[in-house]
Amino acid sequence: MASSVISKTPQQISPADSVPKNLSRTPKTTSLKSLVKEPETTVQAINEQTSQSTPFTEDDLIKCWDAYTETIEEKVHLKNTMLNCKPVLSDHFKFEVRVHNSAQKEVLLNNSLNLLKILRTQLKNDLIQITIHVDENMEKKAIYTSTEKFEFLNNINPLLTKLIDELELVLD
């Protein structure tokens, strides 16, 4: 039997002969972008259709703010901050919250996405924006001594001095 092997000299071998025809020299890569097909025009059209911009008043904003405050029981710091610092409507759909300290600001910032989502849904307005400021003038002064407590209470109700005089009490 004769063998049908043809031998070529090194000068006769071409690069095409050494690589099988079904393989190419450059590897084929697949891009993730080519696998995901998102028509951008459809997404923009949907966003434009669902965008709401219903006008609202500051009273409406505070009602929704208070309603949300009543629903959060497990986040005590957030609830107390929202009870003590009410929003003030500044421009069209922007409102501002003035807090007492940076800890309250941090609590509101951490929960602002969920808060804005609920406010936007309740007020039917997707353009609502929040700004949070620490107001140094609002910072509460801590009352420690009995004299400071008396002065604080006396400022609230000056009749306290009259009561102490009538009962002939001595303050320490």
**C-alpha span between 50 and 164 (Å, rounded):** 65
Q: Are residues 89 and 157 in the same domain?
A: no
Q: Are residues 145 and 132 in the same domain?
A: no
Give pLDDT, residue 14: 54
Q: Are residues 93 and 129 in the same domain?
A: yes
Highest mean pLDDT among 32-41, 51-60, 153-162: 153-162
Whole-prediction pTM: 0.51
- Are 160 and 167 in contact by the 8 Å Cβ rule? The answer is no
- Distances 81 to 46, 128, 135 between C-alpha atoms, Å: 36, 20, 13
Q: Residue 159 is part of which domain span?
A: 141-172
Rounded mean pLDDT, 6-11: 53
Q: Are residues 134 and 151 in the same domain?
A: no
Q: Are residues 132 and 152 in the same domain?
A: no
How confident is the model over 88-142, as pLDDT tens digits?
888 878 888 888 888 888 999 999 889 899 888 888 888 888 888 888 776 566 6
Rounded mean pLDDT, 142-152: 80
Tell me if 11 is assigned to some domain.
Answer: no
Two tokens at 142? Answer: 């801590």
- In this prediction, residue 169 has a pLDDT band, given cuts at 50, 70 and 90, of confident
Tell me if 117 is assigned to some domain.
Answer: yes
Flag whether pLDDT at 44 surpasses 50. no
Flag whether pLDDT at 45 surpasses 80. no
41: left (phi over 0), alpha (psi -120 to 50) or beta: alpha
In degrees, rounded to 5, the angle at the alpha carbon of residue 164 between the alpha carbons of residues 159 and 166 is 95
Q: Are residues 133 and 62 in the same domain?
A: yes
Domain count, the chain: 2
- Distances 21 to 16, 18, 110 between C-alpha atoms, Å: 8, 9, 60
Tell me if 26 is assigned to some domain.
Answer: no
